[in-house]
Structure 1
């Protein structure tokens, strides 16, 4: 069965690759979803729960005429049980619509009034034939004069093509399972424009949003065209936050590692060099958005239109904007008090990582001189970061040149990007663990990555599954959302929306770091599998690649024994990284001597690890 599935996946992937330049009309699909629950509120008034929020509207079909108007309410949030919140606040969606009459035997789509902000300006437009849509889970019908049994009502969901069947995850921690499921649904549901957009408030692609969206999407589906279209969009449509711009190279690099298609790197290589912002570099290899080199000419070369904003250091989101009138829970927003100085740690950590990846990209393209160029620049920048920003007395990083403050962000980013000298890893991670989740849902991506990279799997797992307070993914579920929120709670971002894929860090981190399944070589020809399952007693995962599906299963038989079953598809091989504390290792019942890396051929492999 699995061979048939993998063969079908290869055919579908090839077809989608050929279609990657088609317009949204061809890329978007419509799913019709039956109600999970229909409850009579009173005569003529019914409450309908479709189970999960999707972007769309409702379609109603009746076998009887109603020559009177019907009132429809659609929304994401409940005010009380069986009643949609008509004034949900923030950018949580609600719409009322009236249907003048209902004609029998004719499927009727309920029309909605569009929101101006997300259908004008820089917002990604939907094809006209789709009409106005909103994210909603619930529907109420009022003034229904015919029997409820006479009608069929469905959630008409718009989304990008998505294969639900080729990815899965379950474990001994049901909280983690619920969060993974919510995040996977977010990826499918927020694909409704054919681009990675920031949510329903603006419907605009932003680099930081898109990168996390991409990593999560690639973890659950082998559909790559939406990322390609979004990456291409950013070449000529950058956004102004400095660290957002510095995600562009990351997106193109990730795409090549998953797809093996070199053409986007060839086509946009010179643009990617510009997007590193190395033109802003000073003599010691550090960059600043306050550099005199940030001229109007450079701004235009970066892709900004005339009269648009110049780049600006934001450092996580939201900033402490004095003119918003927001009553934030903490004055600095989600920055952990980050002191934004002219030459700061967060921006330069991103810059170093850009240089490191550009050296790899140059290598992929056989540009040997550029490989040396970027490696040398990365080494200089790394040295300056650690000479200037690493407080060797404290053992962790300050926020920037001239600052005396140390934030979570100034430390989690150097950790995630492999900047921390070995002798300071312990003090940096100890400091990070004193800060908790003092970053946004976006910043959590890098916090979790750094922790898993440096043997803090249990702490990272505890952050993912935390149920205390409101700064966690469980709070999103408890609030009633079926998609990831833009922020932990409305009190941290008073205009948040309930459909933001940059909040899906657990989805890709569970796949890529907790289970440790990611491409080791471009095009996923060789997979790396490095599990760090902390206190889970069992888990299984299915991970799609362009070459087929990897299936993995884990069971902890005792404190001294772990069992893995890993099924590798025919078109790739894998390297399994053995835990450092392993005592004895068996591969397919044969003892393996003195090896930290197990080579797995296609087919089923059984790995037994004794401690």
Structure 2
């Protein structure tokens, strides 16, 4: 059994354990609601890049290989009628794909299914055979199971007398999975049901109404037809709609990434046989090089991210990249040729041979292979190697606008950090979706969310975030807290774009990402032994957890859960699902009360790591603070405790640590941590000479870390959002909040991109605080400005504005528009 299948089973069993006694409102918000007329699903599938298998008008592209059975189109649906079993199948075969079909069973005894990679023998009695995703209307409730029609019968679940011996070894675990409430109750018996089947090489997965039911490997069929089934009950009508397919692999970079030619910064001869070429910064790409002339001979190009003793490091630590490609002189060709980077199988595999994981994001074949490198050594070149002989083809988002954003302040180290982090976001757009650097080239939810936040604040036409969201909804990963990050991604995209239709099309699928299926009657999420040992992350790598103690009720996991529920409530209201919003809000209230009662240590004034331990990590405190879960009368205590702590977390968790500090008035501490001496800060990164942010603070904290990891670029969003202080306060930036956090800096200025145009901010802090703002013409902003007890108010052109002073800040009553100059004095 694959590790993902084991995870599905354990999750399902955990659901069974936790299902009793839940909030009676919870069922309406735990799984996708049925799309009664199918229009939202239809538009959503089109927007996510799927192609219709059925045009809604006739049966073009389909055929019935049987002499019996009737198929007809009724109101945009396919209806199957007959008195004997038959299948309607596509005329086209498919190999690797994701197919989605909605099925509505008739009343009474009924059984249907979705055939995939199936075969047709027109001369045989049983004409259609092969893989089938089961739609089981009986009390057995095996819908979503994997069946092998007219061949080996039940694969998953398996059972004696109905499965071949090779599958019976899975009988107990497969039946246990299908007995769990999550899977057993996934089918809408009298409604529409969405089946999604993904086939990549030998890997098959099935989902029913958003619930994963099967993850299995089988090598029997690599391609075949798609088919839908009538089970043969006389007079019964089986209905099908929204039949879509997406052929795989999808290569996002083909539509959204451009290869940019870059000349070298320096070309230096190392010895008679070797020349070192420096392109100034790391980028993902390859090179074009003049075809070497002369007598026949062999040469080699060495690509590297790291130097050692003035040469490309050919044995770098961790996953710092190095590779080499050969060339031949005297080939008889003239002009230039592309020298591809060497291929790392992890960056191209679609179904891992030893472990189940989502497919790597491929780059276009026409590019030839790419990798991250800054330096190239040319070895074996005949004669002098001149700068004009070589160009790097670097891959960046096609719509990247270098002038979209800017940041500068009185601290030169912060300026260098901004430059590093902004370029890190640009350089990691090479794949067309947000990937985890160059280790696997796989999107992960938390990585993508941090990347998304920083992309919004550095570029001005960001489409990659929504594209990455859709990719991850189809290719999710395993950590517990990574699922709620999908809610965060959707909420951030809605606040950025204001696209209500986009949100409406994806809202229902987000219900599976809130961790509601693991919550109990008190509203808190439980963690099984496997969750505690593997899937609950808290931070990554493991040694960055500040000695966090894992228990069955985990403070960090529950903080993510509650924040996701809050955002789901807001999104539900935005699209008119008020009953859902009220159910989410009720659950939030219940969970918050339980969270505070169960996890807060009143004697210490801080949060414990979980129920059953007295240990308190910084993670158990800054995550609740960042998510607004700490009651007002407890905030100072938590802040004071955190004020004595250093950066005992990874660059990933530091995003939230810094957010908590900036938001609650500890901006000076945040800046001090960002620029701290030692090896646990962004100052250390920039002083190391790297040109793309790292996955960890240093190799000693994660020996296999990437040197091209965008989640290490958090200051790219922290500086505009907090030091400059610009954040959206309503969807689509219709209104903004301007809340600068000086943190001891003397001045800062910059340009913050929004979909409505840039916000220009320039502030200075001396005897008074002065700020100049220039807003887009159709945006209004509220002002929250720093002050002291000695200040009397906020002034514009000498006129005092209506404002309230609280907690060291002046809150201006009325929104401002256009260009203004203000002074707090």
Q: TM-score, normalised by structure 2?
A: 0.65
Q: Deviations over 1:32-51 (max 9, x none)?
A: 11212222212342212111
Secondary structure of the residue that 1:546 maps to in structure 2? coil
64 and 607 in structure 1: CA distance in 2 versus 1, 3 angstrom threshold: farther
Q: Take 1:510 and 1:185, find their aligned partners in 2: how far apart are those partners?
A: 14
Q: Quote the residue 2:708 is aligned against.
A: 499
Q: Quote the residue 1:223 is aligned against.
A: 461
Counterpart contact for 2:293–2:382, Cα < 8 Å: no
Name which of 457, 460, 475 aligns with 2:684.
Answer: 475
Verify: 1:73 aligned to 2:73, yes or no. Answer: no
Counterpart contact for 2:527–2:554, Cα < 8 Å: no
Verify: 1:176 aligned to 2:396, yes or no. Answer: no
Secondary structure of the residue that 1:100 maps to in structure 2? strand
1:19 Cα shift? 10
Q: Take 1:33 and 1:578, find their aligned partners in 2: how far apart are those partners?
A: 43
Q: Take 1:389 and 1:310, find their aligned partners in 2: how far apart are those partners?
A: 20
Q: Quote the residue 1:209 is aligned against.
A: 447
Q: Quote the residue 1:416 is aligned against.
A: 626
Q: Quote the residue 2:476 is aligned against.
A: 238
Q: Deviations over 1:541-597 (max 9, x none)?
A: 1111111111111122x2x21221111122322222123534231124422243522
Q: Quote the residue 1:330 is aligned against.
A: none
Counterpart contact for 1:415–1:450, Cα < 8 Å: yes
Name which of 520, 525, 537 aligns with 1:314.
Answer: 537
Counterpart contact for 1:573–1:599, Cα < 8 Å: no
Q: Take 1:207 and 1:63, find their aligned partners in 2: how far apart are those partners?
A: 45
Verify: 1:286 aligned to 2:524, yes or no. Answer: yes
1:105 Cα shift? 5.9
Q: Take 2:341 and 2:657, find their aligned partners in 1: how far apart are those partners?
A: 40
79 and 311 in structure 1: CA distance in 2 versus 1, 3 angstrom threshold: closer
Q: Quote the residue 2:322 is aligned against.
A: 94
Q: Take 1:150 and 1:366, find their aligned partners in 2: how far apart are those partners?
A: 61
Verify: 1:130 aligned to 2:367, yes or no. Answer: yes
Counterpart contact for 1:577–1:598, Cα < 8 Å: no
Q: Take 1:214 and 1:381, find their aligned partners in 2: how far apart are those partners?
A: 28
Q: Deviations over 1:440-486 (max 9, x none)?
A: 110001100111111101000111112x1111112222333211111
Verify: 1:592 aligned to 2:792, yes or no. Answer: no
1:254 Cα shift? 0.2
1:186 Cα shift? 0.9
1:598 Cα shift? 6.0
401 and 414 in structure 1: CA distance in 2 versus 1, 3 angstrom threshold: same
Counterpart contact for 2:436–2:709, Cα < 8 Å: yes
Q: Take 2:714 and 2:731, find their aligned partners in 1: how far apart are those partners?
A: 22
Verify: 1:41 aligned to 2:251, yes or no. Answer: no
1:434 Cα shift? 2.5
310 and 129 in structure 1: CA distance in 2 versus 1, 3 angstrom threshold: farther
Secondary structure of the residue that 1:349 maps to in structure 2? helix
Verify: 1:251 aligned to 2:485, yes or no. Answer: no
Q: Quote the residue 2:693 is aligned against.
A: 484
Q: Deviations over 1:203-260 (max 9, x none)?
A: 1111000000000001111233211111112222221111111111000000000001
586 and 354 in structure 1: CA distance in 2 versus 1, 3 angstrom threshold: same
Q: Take 2:388 and 2:717, find their aligned partners in 1: how far apart are those partners?
A: 41
1:417 Cα shift? 0.7
Q: Take 1:588 and 1:155, find their aligned partners in 2: how far apart are those partners?
A: 52
Q: Take 1:359 and 1:286, find their aligned partners in 2: how far apart are those partners?
A: 17
70 and 583 in structure 1: CA distance in 2 versus 1, 3 angstrom threshold: farther
1:369 Cα shift? 1.7
Q: CA RMSD in A?
A: 2.3
312 and 537 in structure 1: CA distance in 2 versus 1, 3 angstrom threshold: same
Counterpart contact for 2:348–2:360, Cα < 8 Å: yes
Secondary structure of the residue that 2:317 maps to in structure 1? coil
Alignment of structure 1 residues 54-73 onto 2, 5 Å: 54-61=283-290, 67-73=296-302
Q: Quote the residue 1:572 is aligned against.
A: 779
156 and 19 in structure 1: CA distance in 2 versus 1, 3 angstrom threshold: farther
Alignment of structure 1 residues 256-335 onto 2, 5 Å: 256-290=494-528, 312-319=535-542, 333-335=543-545
Counterpart contact for 1:554–1:562, Cα < 8 Å: yes
Q: Quote the residue 1:375 is aligned against.
A: 585
Q: Take 1:150 and 1:51, find their aligned partners in 2: how far apart are those partners?
A: 14
150 and 427 in structure 1: CA distance in 2 versus 1, 3 angstrom threshold: closer
Q: Take 1:19 and 1:357, find their aligned partners in 2: how far apart are those partners?
A: 23
Q: Take 1:270 and 1:19, find their aligned partners in 2: how far apart are those partners?
A: 15
Q: Take 1:310 and 1:160, find their aligned partners in 2: how far apart are those partners?
A: 38
104 and 174 in structure 1: CA distance in 2 versus 1, 3 angstrom threshold: farther
Poorly superposed stretches of 4+, deviation over 4 Å: 18-23, 62-67, 102-105, 598-602
Q: Quote the residue 1:336 is aligned against.
A: 546
**Structure ranking higher on relative contact order (CA contacts 8 Å, 6+ apart):** 1
Q: TM-score, normalised by structure 1?
A: 0.88
Counterpart contact for 2:769–2:787, Cα < 8 Å: no
Counterpart contact for 2:446–2:485, Cα < 8 Å: yes
Q: Quote the residue 1:448 is aligned against.
A: 658
Counterpart contact for 1:64–1:150, Cα < 8 Å: no
1:261 Cα shift? 0.8
Q: Quote the residue 1:516 is aligned against.
A: 725
Q: Take 2:824 and 2:384, find their aligned partners in 1: how far apart are those partners?
A: 62
Q: Take 1:567 and 1:151, find their aligned partners in 2: how far apart are those partners?
A: 44
Q: Quote the residue 2:753 is aligned against.
A: 544
Counterpart contact for 1:289–1:311, Cα < 8 Å: no
Counterpart contact for 2:296–2:329, Cα < 8 Å: yes
The structure with the largest alpha-carbon Rg is 2
> Which stretch shifts more, 94-103 or 521-530?
94-103
Structure 1 unaligned residues grouped into runs of 5+: 1-17, 295-308, 320-332
Counterpart contact for 1:63–1:151, Cα < 8 Å: no
Secondary structure of the residue that 1:583 maps to in structure 2? coil
Counterpart contact for 1:589–1:606, Cα < 8 Å: no
Q: How many residues align?
A: 561
Q: Take 1:514 and 1:274, find their aligned partners in 2: how far apart are those partners?
A: 35
Name which of 569, 588, 603 aligns with 1:393.
Answer: 603
1:602 Cα shift? 4.5
Q: Take 2:317 and 2:337, find their aligned partners in 1: how far apart are those partners?
A: 29
1:275 Cα shift? 0.8
1:535 Cα shift? 1.4
Higher strand share: 2
396 and 108 in structure 1: CA distance in 2 versus 1, 3 angstrom threshold: same
Q: Take 1:199 and 1:598, find their aligned partners in 2: how far apart are those partners?
A: 45
Counterpart contact for 2:428–2:437, Cα < 8 Å: yes
Counterpart contact for 1:55–1:135, Cα < 8 Å: yes
Q: Quote the residue 2:430 is aligned against.
A: 192
Counterpart contact for 1:548–1:571, Cα < 8 Å: no
Structure 2 unaligned residues grouped into runs of 5+: 1-45, 50-250, 352-358, 805-810
